[in-house]
Amino acid sequence: DTGRIRNAALARKVVPADQAAALIRPGDTLGMSGFTGAGHPKAVPELLAQRITAAHAAGEPFQVDLWTGASTAPELDGALAAADGIGLRLPYQSDPIARQKINAGEIDYVDVHLSHVAQLAWEGFLGPLDVAVVEVSGITEDGQLIPSSSVGNNKTWLDLAERVVLEVNSWQPAGLDGMHDVYYGTALPPNRRPVQLTRPGDRIGVPHLRVDPDKVVAVVETSAPDRNTPFSEPDDTARAIAGHLIEYLEHQVSVGRLPAELLPLQSGVGNVANAVLSGLQESRFEQLTAYTEVIQDGMLDLLRSGTLASTSATAFSLSPTAIADFNAHVAEFRDRIVLRPQEISNHPEIVRRLGVLAMNGMIEADLYGNVNSTHLMGSRIQNGIGGSGDFARNAYVSFFLTPSTAKGGAISSIVPMVSHVDHTEHDVSVIVTEHGLADLRGLPPRKRARLVIDNCAAPEYRPLLTDYYARAERGAHGRHTPHLLAEALSWHTRYLETGSMLPG
Ligand code: 0RQ
């Protein structure tokens, strides 16, 4: 579809994808587009993986360092990880092959707050960026880039990279043009100015990305779908979690702590987040807004029904059915969805100003409200912190949601002490499981512990938690946050030794 490339000079740079992949050298640092499976390059990474495999077969070393917006797809993270082609990966990933190699110690992984990445790169702290490989949905006559289904860190990669490879994907709906708001007002301290965004739907930037045409070494045409994230109907546990949360929000409105249309919502992805969005659909709330990271299926339904008036994000994360529906009706959504660079979609200044209600999944929480979002049994990374920290620390109310157990009840998600900390007790307002909700705000540690045990823990783990806590209260070095250090992580070690956190 050459109709997508309307700039003559860039049209002359169109090459087959393997020629573009051949421009990447061993040892290069690559900044690729892609966020939650949306807007990643579809052709060059896989061909690069093939080159790497061939080089390794010939006994030649070939690895690259890989930066993105967030998670990508099997044909990017999966293919490069399978080829042993990644030296260092940042700032977030969720691919099973890459996860296995990271946990085997074969890929270095830097797990970064998603709003911090651009600043770290600009500061020069991560080293130079050799090549940007960025998917766009089109190129205008004057050589500007129409972003695709995610914005992520693309602005930063295009500005910083020494060489640029563009993938123009004609599968992306042409109607995306106009939906993006690329803010070029960021600067490094001491030259930063306030980000003048006061409502989730505000537009403060421009619709297109800029690129220095002299840096563009190749343009590749593709027509391939984003990653298909299948949508599963929420199960009973997820529905129960959503129910507690929505009841709580209704109560906060009734006592005057939140306005009737709430405050802008941030919602994580996954089964529980979907259940919350479905629950909102059935609630009496209307004219809500969202200031979030990702737009998932449930958000489109909420926009369509009017429950949600507008939403800001950096990317889509849709199921195949929702993608088809969205692509057929882009015009209907265009004025009510704004896609921004992730440094703005997740900006602490804006999250604080708007008073975002942040709702994120977690792996485990402890008696005092510390939350682990990333590591299984303290050392095995699942995905990464993503945007959860950007939102949680700066939110008006920060909710963390999880089923009370994992692995069929062999693991309690409420533990004496978390085995890794992503969100400290100071950043966590409310913990929700299928059994209930604990509002920890304003409570001292010992009151928190009682509430978390009584309201959130699974019934089979409550006596064990109560017993630990009672003995800690008596035997701890201090009674402010009572712990028995020799025992605090014993539930995790018991699981590793016996396959269950339950004794005997
Ligand atoms: O593993 O599939 O092998 O069984 O962890 O758990 O219950 O499917 O939950 O998909 O919502 O993921 C925290 C990982 C939850 C996610 C996390 C095991 C469990 C399963 C997944 P299996 P579930 P979810 C988003 C902001 C960080 C990033 C973030 C996440 C697997 O929410 O990555 O918040 N968050 N970004 O069995 C051992 C436990 C466990 C456990 C779950 N306590 N111990 N294993 N699992 N709890 C902002 C956006 O807008 C995108």
449-463 mean pLDDT: 98
Between the CA of 363 and the centroid of ligand 1 the distance, in Å, is: 6
Closest ligand 1 atom, CA of 293? Answer: 50
Q: Write out pLDDT tens, residues 458-480.
A: 999 999 999 999 999 999 999 99
- Is the model's pLDDT at 1 over the cut of 80? no
Asked if 200 and 353 touch (Cβ cutoff 8 Å), the reply is no
Between the CA of 92 and the centroid of ligand 1 the distance, in Å, is: 14
Nearest CA to ligand 1 atom 44: 376
Between the CA of 382 and the centroid of ligand 1 the distance, in Å, is: 7
pLDDT band at 347 (very low <50, low <70, confident <90, very high): very high
Chain centre to alpha carbon of residue 471: 39
Chain centre to alpha carbon of residue 378: 21
Cβ(362) – ligand 1 distance below 6 Å: yes
Q: Write out pLDDT tens, residues 104-134.
A: 999 999 999 999 999 999 999 999 999 999 9
Asked if 74 and 227 touch (Cβ cutoff 8 Å), the reply is yes
Cβ(313) – ligand 1 distance below 6 Å: no
195 appears as a binding residue in the annotation:
no
Instruction: Output helix, strand, coil percentages for the chain, rounded to the nearest 5.
Output: 35, 20, 45
353-365 mean pLDDT: 98
353-374 mean pLDDT: 98
β-partners of residue 319 are none
Between the CA of 373 and the centroid of ligand 1 the distance, in Å, is: 7
Nearest CA to ligand 1 atom 3: 407
- Mention every residue, 6+ apart, whose C-beta is less than 8 A from residue 454: 462
Asked if 417 and 378 touch (Cβ cutoff 8 Å), the reply is no
402-409 mean pLDDT: 98
Q: Which of 293, 465, 308, 310 lies closest to 389 in space, CA to CA?
A: 293
- Is the model's pLDDT at 493 over the cut of 60? yes
Please tell me the predicted confidence (pLDDT) of residue 271: 84
Q: What does the block give as tokens for 382?
A: 């699942």
Nearest CA to ligand 1 atom 48: 268
Residue 104 backbone phi and psi in degrees, to 5: -85, 0
For residue 445, cis peptide bond before it (omega within 30 degrees of 0): no
Between the CA of 406 and the centroid of ligand 1 the distance, in Å, is: 10
Please tell me the predicted confidence (pLDDT) of residue 116: 98
400-423 mean pLDDT: 98
Asked if 293 and 260 touch (Cβ cutoff 8 Å), the reply is no
Supply the mean pLDDT for the chain.
96
Between the CA of 361 and the centroid of ligand 1 the distance, in Å, is: 6
Distance (Å, whole) CA 132 – CA 364: 36
Nearest CA to ligand 1 atom 32: 361
Distance (Å, whole) CA 169 – CA 137: 5
Place of tokens 């020629």: 19
- Is the model's pLDDT at 2 over the cut of 80? no
Q: Write out pLDDT tens, residues 376-386.
A: 999 999 999 99
Cβ(458) – ligand 1 distance below 6 Å: no
Instruction: Please tell me whether the overall predicted TM-score, pTM, comes out greater than 0.90 for this model.
Output: yes
Q: What does the block give as tokens for 92?
A: 């977030």
**Catalytic residue (one of 46, 167, 221, 293):** 293
Cβ(381) – ligand 1 distance below 6 Å: no
- Is the model's pLDDT at 184 over the cut of 50? yes
Q: Which of 171, 184, 183, 159 lies closest to 339 in space, CA to CA?
A: 183
Helix or strand holding residue 446 (H, E): helix 445-456
pLDDT band at 230 (very low <50, low <70, confident <90, very high): confident
Distance (Å, whole) CA 289 – CA 178: 20
320-324 mean pLDDT: 90
Distance (Å, whole) CA 80 – CA 402: 32
Residue environment code for 283-316, b if the CB has 16+ CB neighbours within 10 A, otherwise e: eebeebbbbbbbbbbbbbbbbeeebbbbbbbbbb
Asked if 87 and 108 touch (Cβ cutoff 8 Å), the reply is yes
Chain centre to alpha carbon of residue 185: 23
124 appears as a binding residue in the annotation:
no
Asked if 362 and 270 touch (Cβ cutoff 8 Å), the reply is no
How high is the ipTM of this complex?
Answer: 0.97
- Is the model's pLDDT at 12 over the cut of 70? yes
- Is the model's pLDDT at 5 over the cut of 50? yes
246 appears as a binding residue in the annotation:
no
Helices 462-475 and 445-456: angle between axes, nearest 10 degrees? 170
- Mention every residue, 6+ apart, whose C-beta is less than 8 A from residue 379: 419, 420
Cβ(292) – ligand 1 distance below 6 Å: yes
Closest ligand 1 atom, CA of 266? Answer: 50
293 is catalytic: yes
Length of the chain: 504
Asked if 79 and 45 touch (Cβ cutoff 8 Å), the reply is yes
- Provide, rounded to the nearest whole percent, the portion of the chain with pLDDT above 70: 100
Cβ(373) – ligand 1 distance below 6 Å: yes
Please tell me the predicted confidence (pLDDT) of residue 290: 98
DSSP annotation string for 370-434: -EESSEETTTEE-S--TTHHHHHHH-SEEEEE--SEEGGGTEESEESS-SS-SB-GGG--EEEET
For CA atoms 335, 337, 341, 346, the dihedral sign is: positive
Cβ(378) – ligand 1 distance below 6 Å: no
- Is the model's pLDDT at 208 over the cut of 80? yes
Distance (Å, whole) CA 164 – CA 143: 13
pLDDT band at 274 (very low <50, low <70, confident <90, very high): confident
213-228 mean pLDDT: 96
Asked if 291 and 351 touch (Cβ cutoff 8 Å), the reply is yes
Q: Write out pLDDT tens, residues 152-177.
A: 999 999 999 999 999 999 999 999 99
- Provide, rounded to the nearest whole percent, the portion of the chain with pLDDT above 90: 94
